[in-house]
Amino acid sequence: MKSLLQDNRVHVFDGAMGTLLYSRGVFVNVCYDELNLSRPELVRGIHEEYINAGAEILETNTFGANPVKLSSFGLEDRTEEINEQAARLAVEASSKAEVSELTKANVPEYFSGGTVAVAGALGPLGIRIEPWGPTSLDEAEAYFARQVDGLLEGGVDGFVLETFSDISELQCALRAIRVACELPVIAQMTVGPDGKTSFGTEPAHLAQAMEDSGADVIGLNCSVGPAVMLDALEDMAEVTQLPLSAQPNAGLPRKVRDRKIYLASPEYMAQYARRMIDVGVRFVGGCCGTTPDHTRRMRDSVAALQPKHPVVTIRDRANSSHSVINSVPLEGRSAWGRKLARGEQIASVEIIPPHSWDASAVTSPARELKVSGVDAVSIVESPRSRSRMGALSAALIVEREVGIETIVHYTCRDKNMLGMISDLLGAAAAGIRNVLVVSGDPPVMGPYPDTTVVFDIDSIGLTNVVQGLNQGIDPGGNTIGAPTEFVQGVAINHGAVDQERERSRFKYKIEAGANFAITQPVFSPEALEQFLDATTPEIPIVAGIWPLTTLRNVEFLANEVPGVHVPTELVDRMKRAQLSGADAALEEGIAIALEMINATQGFVQGFHLTAPNRKVQVALKVLRESGILATA
């Protein structure tokens, strides 16, 4: 493939593999990548059809042949085998197929198998990776490396990375290739009808990022038809000197009698192929909905053309609209942030919004907390997946009507990334400054177990999103103007069964930009101290304190609240106290809370108390008797 990059000619990719497999009777619930093993003659035959139509570059049938996607079919252990076989099939097709006269005239030398090049195709993993998800960059690179090893063993001439929407994931795939070999890499992202990625990244920024990543050719494929793609390619051509590639779909699919049909004709695709070459595209082909007929028309259309060399104006990246803006210092964002930054002891009390729309259920206890000197009111978002007044709305009402700072619990459960960013920008504009980023309880815990969840990203990913907004950029790298001023906290479960996983996730949250952490309710100071000793966090820790009120309360916590572990001895203490009546049980619960505070004061910066049933008097009594708040 190196010769194709150096000859300054236009070259033609093949078209869709999945479209033809489906048209040959292979239904969509089948693993198309596994067909390399079970139906090799079918896959090889499609490659040969594209060669006969004039394709100069074949892509292996491995778009989804990574261990993550293959695992859904129980095939992850055959990752290398599937990729190696896919490469061999394409190489065999290259050596056996009758090559068109146009291809012979345009390709100056032979490749691995014959007169066309074979590019190993890698697509996205299908999972969220760092910084938006729990899979680390190293783990993602390792997944891609397995695919790369198989493709190299099968004899590919180069690689094509296709249909990526996350530049970080594409970079992982590219690194996996560079570690293994020095073969050419064509890197392609995908954009939506608005010309941007699903993260909102603009084409010019994509081009800069892909060029910086070390790709040999950069471009776009899939998701849209040639018209939208042409506009995006024009923007990319303005900021890069690298060769461009384009593989549009055959238009946007239309639903016809319960089937999705691509209606863009071969003639239409060929017309746009010429226009793309006019803006500097050197590698052109088709993606979803295209067939050998589309390839043949594009081959005929571009045979005599030479790519235009646009006047390239490399934008000043130091002054780019995507440059990171310095964030507001922690102590300048909120009173809560100021205390955190100065190392002062802090105290917050958590209240749960009501099932109704009666705002007094949150404003009344908030007023009592303000008068008592509590630093912030922490407002929970639908705990245990039960429908309540939204935490953000409740917080806005409390801050407006009561005048005390809030800490808004914001979950990843109910909205996609677009919705979350909209909420956060609106919250920033309305004056909300403190947020606690949490993944959220699954609906199966609540009264609506069949409710749809989103979880586009988890709490680690959302922490990265908030950190980006605090630097003036959105997840797509686009400027939002002045940076937001959020003080963002994260939750930690020091009593988690899988301690290694919880410590790892806490580390990632800190790296993502967390400013403080609130623990699950502490009923074992030793467990919290051991967890913190193992993680050595460099951010303030706020210990969660839940004053037990009744035996029923402690049994509920011990058995029905995820992430909370109540030692047997504490349950027994509450049982004995309950025998003397409700007042005795409450006093015992307060005594336990005071013990937890006294035992943890040496290694935490503050305390976060739960107000059972919004009865803040119990929480305030604990804070006063511990000396954290002045006695009324």
Q: How many Cβ atoms sit within 10 Å of the Cβ of residue 108?
A: 12
Element (H, E) at 28: none
Q: How confident is the model at residue 317 (pLDDT cuts 50, 70, 90)?
A: very low
Structure tokens at 488: 């963002």
Element (H, E) at 504: helix 499-512
The pLDDT value recorded for residue 301 is 87
pLDDT higher than 60, residue 316: no
Comparing CA positions, the residue from 313, 247, 314, 252 lying closest to residue 281 is 247
Instruction: Give CATH 3.20.20.220 domain extents, the chain.
Output: 330-625
pLDDT higher than 70, residue 530: yes
Q: How confident is the model at residue 314 (pLDDT cuts 50, 70, 90)?
A: very low
Q: How confident is the model at residue 385 (pLDDT cuts 50, 70, 90)?
A: low
pLDDT higher than 90, residue 114: no
State the first-to-last Cα distance of the chain, in angstroms, to the nearest integer: 79
Q: How far is CA 112 from CA 145, 312, 483, in A?
A: 21, 34, 52
The pLDDT value recorded for residue 322 is 47
Q: How far is CA 342 from CA 329, 331, 346, in A?
A: 12, 8, 11
pLDDT higher than 50, residue 187: yes
* Type of residue found at 372: S
Find where tokens 């990752």 sit: 79
pLDDT higher than 70, residue 449: no
Contacts of 427 (CB under 8 A, 6+ apart): 392, 396, 408, 435
Mean pLDDT of 183-201: 94
The pLDDT value recorded for residue 355 is 87
Q: What pTM does this model have?
A: 0.76
Contact 49, 98 (CB under 8 A): no
Contacts of 338 (CB under 8 A, 6+ apart): 330, 331, 332
Indicate the SS3 state at residue 150. helix
Q: Kindly report the CATH number that applies to the domain delimited by 2-319.
A: 3.20.20.330
Mean pLDDT of 169-179: 98
Fold for 330-625, please state it.
Answer: TIM Barrel (3.20.20)
Q: Give the range among 56-60, 280-284, 381-385, 491-495 with minimum mean pLDDT.
A: 381-385
The pLDDT value recorded for residue 199 is 86
pLDDT higher than 70, residue 78: yes
Mean pLDDT of 411-433: 93
Cis before 612? omega within 30 = no
Looking only at the bridges linking them, the beta strands covering 254-256 and 259-261 are antiparallel
One-letter-per-residue 3-state SS of 201-251: CCHHHHHHHHHHHCCCEEEEECCCCHHHHHHHHHHHHCCCCCCEEEECCCC
pLDDT higher than 90, residue 95: no
Phi, psi of 84 (to 5 degrees): -60, -45
User: ∠25-66-202 over CA atoms, to 5°?
Assistant: 95
In terms of pLDDT, which residue wins out, 312 or 2?
2
pLDDT higher than 80, residue 13: yes
In terms of pLDDT, which residue wins out, 345 or 564?
345
pLDDT higher than 50, residue 164: yes
Mean pLDDT of 560-586: 91
One-letter-per-residue 3-state SS of 349-410: EEECCCCCCCCHHHHHHHHHHHHHCCCEEEECCCHHHCCCCCHHHHHHHHHHHCCCCEEEEE
Contacts of 528 (CB under 8 A, 6+ apart): 494, 519, 522, 543, 600, 603, 604
The fraction of the chain above a pLDDT of 90, given in percent, is 76
Element (H, E) at 68: helix 67-71
The pLDDT value recorded for residue 4 is 83
**CA pair distance 43, 65, nearest whole angstrom:** 14
**CA pair distance 381, 363, nearest whole angstrom:** 16
Element (H, E) at 347: strand 346-351
Q: How far is CA 46 from CA 19, 29, 274, 388, in A?
A: 11, 20, 25, 55
Q: What is the average pLDDT score of the chain?
A: 90
Mean pLDDT of 172-192: 97
**CA pair distance 86, 39, nearest whole angstrom:** 11
**CA pair distance 242, 294, nearest whole angstrom:** 26
Q: How confident is the model at residue 386 (pLDDT cuts 50, 70, 90)?
A: confident
Q: How confident is the model at residue 11 (pLDDT cuts 50, 70, 90)?
A: very high
The pLDDT value recorded for residue 318 is 40
Please, what's the largest Cα pairwise distance for the chain?
97
Q: How confident is the model at residue 99 (pLDDT cuts 50, 70, 90)?
A: low
Element (H, E) at 121: strand 117-122
Mean pLDDT of 572-583: 95
Mean pLDDT of 412-426: 91
pLDDT higher than 80, residue 47: yes
Q: 482-518: per-residue pLDDT in tens? A: 999 999 999 999 999 899 999 999 999 999 999 999 9
In terms of pLDDT, which residue wins out, 609 or 108?
609
The pLDDT value recorded for residue 454 is 83
Q: How confident is the model at residue 414 (pLDDT cuts 50, 70, 90)?
A: confident
Q: How far is CA 594 from CA 548, 589, 601, in A?
A: 11, 9, 11
Q: Give the range among 20-29, 97-106, 230-239, 458-467 with minimum mean pLDDT.
A: 97-106
Secondary structure percentages of the chain, helix, strand, coil, to 5: 45, 15, 40
